[in-house]
């Protein structure tokens, strides 16, 4: 029996295994767990993963190449660089902007980066760890994105970049932010981790979020729009930024040859770099202080299958969000319901609500009620990130950040907001149960 025959047999058994282990989902009954998000897959993902394991190419390989091409093509960008997490994607996008090759536009220690405190910490962490200064702006409610009226006040002679996320899939005001960056010569990084597939229209053209900035980042952790288990990506149209991202991802190498391939750069034993001897092996020339943040081909193989499902996932998220928005309108006197950003069509990550001051109940009471009914809830990540323990030393007078005006809405979100899921694994029974649970709780008050 040859290897090809065995391989085919293994693939067929994998399909059968999927049918036995995963395909027969029991119908939802009240009391069953409703997760805010999670993996959605069929036999294709298992087949791709098994095929990759049989290849036994353990690092980045042809599945990674395929995934990068598919992601870039979906977005309409030239370059996508697969990495091991969304956090690594944010780190690499930021670090690429610190490279000496960028000249006077390079972010240096002490330079400022405009961002918000209402979000996930990995948008801010690279700024602080490098020694740059995050400048925090408040957000608006109920869009939950940067208050663009504060941008000009945030600007200083040390400002080099704007680094913002599209909150739970809802695009921030890209027109205003993009014009602000262009007018002031600033880099723009779009943290698109929660917004894969969101669309924004500007000047008569509608494009996917993640294509307006100089760089954009993505996460493929299981709750996200697609999953590789762990994984992320950095995307750009700029060839220099793409090369810098890949260098920092791949140990800081100057060489761009792929793993397992030699001398596609044509410089293997040619040229002089730094103070190395003439002809030093280019695969071991390091032009940056980099990392190893690559993903494996096994992860990428899952992503190749997931990309085929992405359009359907996006439509399901929109449908589920719209159902919640419509059916909860009846209690809009008690909770602030989310609103779609102007000129946008979001690919929603979650349904965010803020309890009104006169509601007669607190956010935590609503969260406890939902959790007791086995409905998973989440707060808006770090709330006000500046109130987190990791800022204790910085708050004691050591500086390291700047706040523009107040963070009033950010604090409001920290105290009064929570969100529930809209992911494709939802069905009408789950959505109806969530709506009934929220309405029942509010009416009982």
360, 445 in Cβ contact below 8 A? yes
Contacts of 12 (CB under 8 A, 6+ apart): none
| Residue 5 is a catalytic residue | no
Neighbours of 14 (CB within 10 A): 17
Which tokens in the block code for residue 177? 């932010």
SS3 91: helix
SS3 287: coil
Which tokens in the block code for residue 92? 């690499």
The residue behind tokens 């008050």 is: 445
Contacts of 147 (CB under 8 A, 6+ apart): 137, 138, 139, 140, 409
Which tokens in the block code for residue 300? 């990428």
261, 60 in Cβ contact below 8 A? no
Taking the C-alpha atoms of residue 298 and residue 141, their distance in angstroms, rounded to an integer, is: 41
117, 407 in Cβ contact below 8 A? yes
280, 255 in Cβ contact below 8 A? no
Which of the residues 224, 225, 282, 369 is marked catalytic? Answer: 224
The residue behind tokens 């969000």 is: 321
Taking the C-alpha atoms of residue 269 and residue 281, their distance in angstroms, rounded to an integer, is: 5
Catalytic residues: 224
């Amino acid at each position: 029996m040859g290897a090809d025959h065995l391989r085919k047999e293994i693939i067929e058994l994998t399909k059968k295994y999927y049918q036995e282990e995963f395909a027969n989902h029991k119908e939802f009954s009240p009391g069953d767990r409703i997760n805010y998000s999670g993996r959605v897959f069929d036999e294709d993902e298992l087949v791709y993963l098994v095929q990759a394991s049989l290849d036994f190419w353990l690092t980045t390989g042809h599945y990674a190449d395929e995934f990068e091409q598919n992601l870039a093509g979906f977005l309409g960008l030239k370059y996508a660089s697969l990495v091991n997490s969304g956090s690594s994607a944010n780190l690499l996008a930021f670090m690429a902007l610190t490279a000496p090759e960028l000249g006077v536009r390079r972010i240096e220690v002490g330079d400022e980066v405009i961002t918000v405190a209402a979000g996930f910490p990995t948008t801010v962490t690279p700024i602080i760890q490098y020694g740059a200064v995050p400048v925090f702006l408040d957000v608006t409610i109920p869009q939950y994105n940067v208050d663009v009226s504060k941008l000009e006040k945030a600007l200083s002679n040390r400002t080099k970049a704007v680094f913002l996320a599209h909150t739970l899939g809802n695009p921030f005001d890209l027109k205003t932010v993009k014009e602000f960056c262009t007018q002031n010569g600033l880099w723009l990084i779009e943290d698109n981790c929660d917004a894969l597939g969101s669309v924004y229209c500007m000047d008569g053209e509608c494009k996917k979020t993640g294509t307006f900035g100089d760089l954009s980042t993505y996460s493929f952790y299981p709750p996200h729009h697609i999953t590789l288990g762990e994984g992320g990506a950095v995307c750009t149209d700029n060839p220099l930024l793409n090369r810098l991202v890949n260098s920092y991802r791949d140990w800081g190498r100057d060489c761009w040859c792929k793993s397992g391939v030699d001398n596609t750069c044509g410089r293997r034993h040619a040229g002089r770099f730094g103070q190395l001897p003439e002809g030093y092996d280019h695969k071991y020339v390091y032009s940056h202080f980099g990392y190893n943040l690559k993903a494996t081909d096994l992860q990428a193989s899952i992503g190749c299958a997931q990309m085929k499902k992405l359009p359907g996932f996006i439509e399901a998220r929109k449908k589920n969000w719209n159902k919640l928005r419509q059916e909860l309108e009846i209690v809009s006197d008690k909770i602030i319901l989310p609103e779609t950003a102007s000129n946008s069509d979001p690919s929603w990550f979650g349904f965010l609500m803020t309890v009104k001051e006169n509601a007669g109940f607190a956010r935590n009471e609503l969260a406890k009620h939902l959790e007791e009914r086995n409905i998973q809830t989440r707060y808006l990540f770090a709330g006000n990130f500046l109130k987190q323990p990791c800022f204790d030393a910085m708050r004691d007078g050591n500086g390291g950040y700047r706040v523009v005006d107040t963070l009033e809405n950010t604090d409001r979100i920290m105290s009064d907001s929570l969100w529930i899921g809209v992911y494709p694994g939802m069905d009408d029974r789950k959505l109806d149960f969530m709506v009934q649970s929220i309405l029942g709780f509010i009416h009982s008050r």
